[in-house]
Amino acid sequence: VAANGRGGGGGGGGSGGGVSGGGGGGLDGGGFTDIRSDMWLSARMPAWLVPYGELARWDRPIGTWLLLWPCLWSIALAAPAGTPPDPLLCSLFAAGAVAMRGAGCTVNDLWDRDFDRRVERTRHRPLARGALQPSQAIGFLGAQLSVALGVLLALPLPAVAAGLASTPLWVLYPLAKRVTDWPQAVLGAAINYGGLLGWVAVRGDVDWAVVVREGEGPSPA
């Protein structure tokens, strides 16, 4: 989806850690920061694009994998017996996972930018350090959501409806850190929602028997 003060991080990249006491720190590794100048983004991307990559956590794909694996699992489980998962469908979900993970991180950093400036681990994030303005992050968010919407509209209609229904989960996760000590429950629901979405993309509906009793495999097609 990193230890945080109120459980953020994972796929969404929430705030947390110790409050900075000033001095120290920096992009070159002084202090405890999750943004480093020696990451591949700085070496392989144009300088103007690096803050956007940092905002979307392109240099840390674990959150993308956490989103993608439930999707791939359910696509494979829903495939007819003896046939491999649809490679086109898997590719669409991979592109969607990259876009939605980045969008979730962007929303998180927009909500948390004032807090992030006061936290050692997060104070060098692009919005917190001023490398990007909120208006730029919002524009980038729109671009990522446009990619995700394009992927979603390429899926069967029932999957489109199921995908849109997940919107509150990734939008509200950053706010959950403000009202509960268990924000990872919201994050976990957002990450694992792909397990339902992948099945719906293949079968056109949700087989609740499979959801509840996943170890027994799919019901007959």
Closest by alpha carbon to 1, among 202, 193, 199?
A: 193
Distance, in Å, from the CA atom of 202 to the CA atom of 122, rounded to the nearest integer, reads 40
Distance, in Å, from the CA atom of 111 to the CA atom of 103, rounded to the nearest integer, reads 12
Closest by alpha carbon to 203, among 166, 135, 153, 156?
A: 156
- Do 145 and 106 touch, CB atoms closer than 8 A? no
30 contact partners, CB below 8 Å, separation of at least 6 = 24
- Do 105 and 57 touch, CB atoms closer than 8 A? yes
pLDDT, one tens digit for every residue, the chain (221 residues): 333 343 344 444 444 444 333 334 445 444 566 666 566 777 788 999 999 999 999 988 999 999 999 999 999 999 999 999 999 999 999 999 999 999 999 999 999 999 999 998 899 999 999 999 999 999 999 999 999 999 999 999 999 999 999 888 878 887 888 888 888 898 899 899 999 999 999 999 887 776 665 545 455 55
Closest by alpha carbon to 15, among 156, 133, 124?
A: 124
Return the CA Rg of the chain: 19
The pLDDT score that the predictor gives to residue 182 is 87
Distance, in Å, from the CA atom of 44 to the CA atom of 30, rounded to the nearest integer, reads 23
Structure tokens at 112: 């948390």
- Do 123 and 109 touch, CB atoms closer than 8 A? no
The pLDDT score that the predictor gives to residue 180 is 85
The pLDDT score that the predictor gives to residue 173 is 81
pTM for the predicted model, two decimal places:
0.77
The pLDDT score that the predictor gives to residue 32 is 64
Q: Which uninterrupted H or E stretch holds 10?
A: none
The pLDDT score that the predictor gives to residue 42 is 75
